[in-house]
Structures are given as structure tokens and as C-alpha cells.
Amino acid sequence: MSDGTVLAGVIVETEAYLGVSDAASHAFGGRRTPRNEAMYGPPGTAYVYFTYGMHFCCNVVCANPGVPQAVLLRALEPIAGLEVMRRHRAARRRGQVPDTDLCSGPARLCQALGLDRAFNGADLLGRSALRIVRAPRGPLDDEQVGRSPRIGVDYAGEWARRPLRWFVRGSAHVSGSKRLGTAS
């Protein structure tokens, strides 16, 4: 953060949005507007969008410039800056927030990290304030990764059923872990 505090977490849940052919994607049918323009940028670009009148969600652009494919960051296991995250998340809530719920959802994660439209279009691979680095613990075995259909895209017909959500099996930091964390 601006005061030097480091907020960090391990990505434990993601969803893929496969571009112009994907009915659940903001770029479906080649739709290109000021809002989703970042999706058409180079790989490693952040696509942060505002939704439901109150939430932000953060994606990582994955394909070449002009090809609007991205991965939605859905949950993190927080590993640094927990105090700040708790403050961010408790602000607009009644009680306290369990540590397993600090970043267990695409909008929760953005709230905990303080991500908003200022980060839209940011380069996640450089030295800027927001970045993604290789996990020190290394890659996971396939057995440790679960898959399921994506969340909240029921309007997308056949695409809604595709298993394009990935999560760390057994992680308590996955969104809706009680319902979905053990699926597939």
C-alpha cells in the first residue's frame, strides 16, 4: 500500500473467461466498450470492473493483445497484511470477519486489498503496487486442484455448465467453501 504495508495472498480460486465465444464473458460476441477495454490489452494486464452498484472484481488478462481472454481472481489465502485486510473488510459490516472470509470471493478479495478502478489496466507483471509473482511453494499437483462450473453465470446457457472454475481442494479460503470447496 501507499504507506509501505504489504498485502499478499496465495491465489486459491480462479475462473477462466474465454473471450468472444464465451457467453458468460464481458467480451462475448466481440463486445468492446470503455468498460471492458482492458480485456483487449496485453497479457498481464489487470481488468478491474465495478458491478452490482457496490463491488469490484479483478481479472488477469491472459491472451495476446486484441484477444479478450481473462482469468477472474476469486479467492486468496491471505499471507501478509492481515490486519489491514480485516479493517478493510470489517468497515462495511456488522461483526468481525473470519480470516477465512477475508478474501474468499472476487469482491471480498478486492475489498481486502483495496482494489478499485484505479487499478484497471495496471501491469501485473511489473514493479507496480499490484503484481502477481510465482508462488514460493511451487506448482500444485493435479490432485490438489478441483474444478467446477463457474459461479453466478447461470444466464450463459451451455457455457454456464462448463467446468471453468479452478480451486485448491480443501482450502478453507475458497469462496463458499462449505458449499463448493469440496466439489469435483
Binding site for DNA (CB under 7 A): 15, 17, 24-27, 31, 33-36, 39, 47, 50-55, 57, 59, 70, 72, 89, 92-95, 97, 101, 105-109, 117, 150-153, 155, 175
CA distance from start to end of the chain: 36
Minimum CB distance to DNA smaller for 91 or for 138: 91
Which residues touch 165 (CB under 8 Å, ≥6 apart)?
13, 14, 15, 74, 147, 148, 149, 150, 151
Minimum CB distance to DNA smaller for 91 or for 133: 91
Which residues touch 99 (CB under 8 Å, ≥6 apart)?
78, 82, 86
SS3 content of the chain, % helix, strand, coil (to 5): 25, 25, 55
CA proximity to 162, closest of 62, 30, 21:
21
Q: How far is the CB of 142 from DNA (least distance, A)?
A: 24
Minimum CB distance to DNA smaller for 108 or for 173: 108
Minimum CB distance to DNA smaller for 4 or for 62: 62
Q: How far is the CB of 163 from DNA (least distance, A)?
A: 15
